[in-house]
Chain A
Amino acid sequence: MTGTCTLGEAMIYTLARTIEDGTLVFHGFGSPLVQLAMHVAKRTHAPDMALVAGATYGLNPRPPFLTPTSNDWALDRGAECALDIEQLFDLGASGRIGRMFLSGVQIDRWGNANVTRLGRDQLDIKLPGGGGGCNLSCDVDHLTLWTTAHRSQPDRHGKRRYRLVEQCDFITNLGHRTADRRERAQLGHRGMGPQWLVTELGLFDFDPRGLLRLRALYPDTSIDDVAQSTGFELVVADDLHPLVLPSPEIVAMIRALDPLGVHVKELQPHDRERRFAVVPAPNPLQVEVMQ
């Protein structure tokens, strides 16, 4: 098998590579890329992951297809058992959730995320809200952040509105520093905070200070692309490398999991045609967890 993968499939694969086997992992609602990443991980390198579905709170379900909304019985078909909202969030509070995926309409250089409101001192635009993200960003061991709208185009006045911002207008989900620059470690939360950020332009980790750092690029993106779309001074890792792409078998797996192409709606229209060549691998279903 050879051929191409889409941007969405490359992002799903990258998100999957942040999941360690043998941990309890939760995705929120409204995040098909993450849902698919967890199902790919479960079927490849993380068979012992406890997969908790967002919204239905079913454990290790085998959905016949991905639905356009998260609280649908299709998504908990085949689940071994199910939790209610108290049980799920108690798992977070007691330190049992190993990884959670969070996004934001603003993500700042410390990995804070905002899905509550735009406007720092007053409400300019009401965003939908973070669900359980605030609590879980503090409680869960590790966070993987993602966004499909990193790219920032200048408007007709040449001004850009960034997704990756110097400072969030409101901190819904906690990163490595608070708005008043207190370090996360001083707060005594259980969780260690954001570890990765996957965007449609690149892959980031966090440096020892807790600052976002560019680690990998897609075949069609450059450091300049990323820097232009980032609202703060870009930190680039010494070992910047091309993103590892999925094998053709994993691409086929993703397509079988999402026959309606629900995840494509998460991508910006101009990104839906991006394709990258994929090549056969000696062990096509062997996935290495990112370090």
Chain B
Amino acid sequence: MSAVFTHSDKRVGLDELASHVKDGDLLAVGGGLSSREPMALLRAVIRAGRQRLQVVGSAHGIDIDLLCGAGVVAKSLESYVGFEQDFGMAPNYRRACESGAVEVADSCCYTVVQQLRAAAYGVPFLPVRSVRGTGFQGMHPEYLPMKCPFTGDDLLLVPALQPDVALIHAQYGDSHGNLRIEGPPVADLLSARAAKKVIATVERIVSNDELQALGGANVPYFHVAAIAEVEMGAHPTACYPFYAYDRPHTALYYQAAKAGADVFRASYLAPYVLDCLDHADYLERIGGVATRSRLSSWRDGPQAWQELYAEANA
């Protein structure tokens, strides 16, 4: 069953927003790779002490790795978790999978799309042609082969997958919960339709008139249970046009994670997540106004933009 959320003012603080996530929930984390991941919200979920979470998604990085490093994930249905060629494998994710702390149930982007669409459509499954003959059939005994009754084609049925919560960070939203995601939406629009509820952080809460003037919402309010204005809420991933990917901070994260679970806890998880009183405290710890100013310098042109990513900055 899928609810609709109709109340007129959904604005809450970050901690109250995070309280929508319960132990054991299946989460669809928004954004992807180094872009628009709801990092402030995930840090608040970790601080709230949530446990045994399950995660599903397409291509992710520091978001899922951080949850794994905090020891709050029990199962992963992600298609990819890593730092691409920039830094390589995701150290916490890898350790958690190899130790057995995280049950590995890897998926694949279109399989996830079909499973989320089945949930969004309100049907129990959808077919794919692909996947047959690969290792995923053995990893997922719940996928069932079928001959199409109309054409005789060989298909594989994948069951509907309804996330308990979709966590989305958008550029703009209004107090009613309408969201405007600018740039690549990744799987966020689909996750919003599929999940039982959306909880959202946004860079700016604006009036509905202003939202319309910006080009309008692409996630309608009735999917959204609660919303919080959290500036730099995607840091250290990018949330253009406000700020670019913080590569030096990600390098710091990666080095800590690579050095081992204990080093990671002491040198990253404690100072940047657990010991932060709130998001404002986090922003101070990452360099405050100077960091914000550096990351918004991409607007000054291709040369300034490139300099954010120069090798010396990682």
Contacts and interface: CB of A to CB of B under 8 A. Distances in A.
Contact of B131 (A58, A117, A138): A138
Interface residues of A, number: 65
B142 to A, nearest CB: 16
A112 to B, nearest CB: 8
B305 A131 contact: no
Interface string B91-113: 00110011000001010111101
Among A30, A170, A190, A265, find the residue whose CB has the most chain B CB atoms closer than 10 A.
A30
B138 to A, nearest CB: 9
A194 interface: no
Interface string A49-91: 0000001111000001101111111101000001011100100
A76 B185 CA distance: 13
B86 A260 contact: no
Contacts of A32: 85
Interface in A163-182: 170-174, 178-179, 182
Contacts of A92: 110, 130
B86 A69 contact: yes
Interface of B: 31-35, 58-59, 78-86, 89-90, 93-94, 97-98, 104, 106, 108-111, 113, 117, 128-136, 153-154, 183-187, 189-190, 238, 240-241, 244-245, 247, 298, 302, 305-306, 309-311, 314
Among B90, B106, B154, find the residue whose CB has the most chain A CB atoms closer than 10 A.
B106
A129 B108 CA distance: 8
Contacts of B310: 260
Given A84-B184, A84-B186, A189-B130, 5 more contacts: A85-B186, A85-B187, A123-B98, A131-B108, A261-B311
A127 interface: yes
A93 interface: yes
A55 B133 contact: no
A115 B136 CA distance: 12
A265 B104 contact: no
Nearest to A124: B98
A173 B314 CA distance: 32
Nearest to B187: A85
B34 to A, nearest CB: 4
B187 A188 contact: no
A266 B184 contact: no
A38 B303 CA distance: 23
Contacts of A73: 183, 238, 240-241, 244
Given A131-B109, A135-B108, A71 B33 contact: yes
A70 B97 CA distance: 24
Contacts of A56: 183-184
Contacts of A70: 33, 84
Given A58-B184, A135-B111, A69 B245 contact: yes
A136 B131 CA distance: 9
